[in-house]
Copies of this chain bind each other. A is one copy, B any other.
Amino acid sequence: MMASRGCSRDELLQSMVMPSSALARPPISNFNVGAVGMTPNGDVYVGVNLEFLGMPLNNSVHAEQFLVANLRLHKETELELMAVNAAPCGHCRQFLSELACASTLQILLPGPKASRRSSRTGDAPSQYSLADLLPMRFCPQDLLGDCPPPLLLQEQKLHLQFTADFCANPRYAPWVDGHGSAQSTALYKALEQARESFAPYSNCPAGVAIVTRSEQVYAGAYLESCAFNPGMQALQVALVDAAIHGLPRYTDIALVLVAEVPGSQVQHAPMIRLLLQSIAPVAEVIDVHLTRG
């Protein structure tokens, strides 16, 4: 594409931001944001912002978060360069600090507009590092020490399995045994996502799988932030998976499986039920109980 359009890598990425932002779903702010990211081997992924009518604004998904979830869902481990149509907010700069590649990530901003409020107007370059945008940032090492466990986008497999009680439940046993049904596929996707959660701060992993009326299955894992608030709920990541694959309406969601360890100090299912009551009120929500080990 760079050759055929006669443009640089940076120009190509920036040219994709506005078309991508048209895919955003911000019914409250009507402020479309697009983020376009490139991996070291040149693959390109997009992110857009999602807002949920009826819910407090704290539940919004930012384009930069969507992009990271998109990368993760495609097993990408590194984000080299990202272009956005507005300077990332502090919440996003903090979330991006969670990436294993945080120190090498470069961020392209549209020059004049992005620096409109800046103290550096005039000579502002269009490419920034996180050290530029969030100096002296609070980072995973501040809580996890200098030899942290796998960071965001790095592979991890937590030791989790279904509880014996869950497997013995007559309704769920056929799903556990597996017969290729959408429910069975969703059940194992929820388990897989829980195992791949990024939850080093609370140690309370969670995975969510969505089954639509047409039996499509989407899934996502809980992603934490060392600053706590900027993390992503597992349902939000599953909604990113659904958005990527074109789910037209949240009301097409028929079933949601929430896999987590009962009795943990963070419980995910109640919050997920609340969000679904706003966006997919007829969806059935099932708790999938996990045990460690």
Q: How far is the CB of A197 from chain B (nearest CB, A)?
A: 13
> Which residue from chain B places its CB closest to the CB of A49 in the assembled complex?
B228
Judge if A91 is at the interface, Cβ distance under 8 Å. Answer: yes
B29→A227 contact, CB < 8 A: no
Residues B86 and A90 in contact, CB atoms below 8 Å apart: no
Cβ contact within 8 Å between B90 and A94: yes
Say yes or no: A135 contacts B132, CB within 8 Å.
Answer: yes
Using an 8 Å CB-CB cutoff, how does the interface string of A189-222 with B read, 1 for contact, 0 for none?
0000000000001100000000000000000000
A27, A142, A229, A267 — which one has the most chain B CB atoms within 10 A of its CB? A229
**Nearest Cβ on chain B to A239's Cβ, whole angstroms:** 15
Q: Quick one: given A115-B136, A229-B57, are A90 and B87 in contact (CB under 8 Å)?
A: no
A133 within 8 A of B: yes
Residues of B within 8 A of A117 (CB): 136-137, 139, 141-142
Tell whether A268 is near chain B: CB-to-CB under 8 Å: yes
User: A91 with B229: in contact, given A56-B271, A265-B54, A268-B56 (CB under 8 Å)?
Assistant: yes
A55 touches B (CB below 8 Å): yes
Q: In the bound complex, how far is the Cα of B226 from the Cα of A188, in angstroms?
A: 38
Within 8 A of B (CB), among A253-273: 265-268, 270-271
Q: Does A37 contact B (CB under 8 A)?
A: no
As a 0/1 sequence over residues 259 to 293 of chain A, the CB contacts with chain B under 8 angstroms (1 = contact) are 00000011110110010011000000000000000
Q: Please name all residues of chain B whose beta carbon is closer than 8 Å to the beta carbon of A48 when the two chains form the complex.
A: none
Contact between A229 and B137, CB atoms less than 8 A apart:
no
How far does the alpha carbon of A56 sit from the alpha carbon of B278 in the complex, in Å?
18
Judged by a CB distance under 8 angstroms, whether A72 is at the interface is no
How distant is the Cα of A62 from the Cα of B54 in the complex, in angstroms?
25
Partner of A201, one of B57, B230, B268: B57
Q: Are B137 and A120 in contact (CB under 8 A)?
A: no
Nearest CB of chain B from residue A107's CB, rounded to whole Å: 10
Of all A-B residue pairs in the complex, the 9 with the closest CB atoms, nearest first, are A90-B94, A89-B227, A90-B90, A57-B228, A119-B131, A118-B136, A87-B136, A89-B138, A90-B93
Residues in A lying within 8 Å of B, measured CB to CB: 27-29, 31, 51, 53-60, 62, 86-95, 97, 109, 114-115, 117-120, 124, 131-139, 141-143, 201-202, 224-231, 233, 265-268, 270-271, 274, 277-278
Seed contacts A62-B229, A270-B274; 16 additional CB < 8 Å A-B pairs: A56-B231, A56-B266, A58-B229, A87-B138, A89-B90, A90-B93, A90-B134, A91-B91, A91-B229, A91-B230, A117-B137, A117-B139, A119-B131, A132-B135, A135-B135, A274-B274
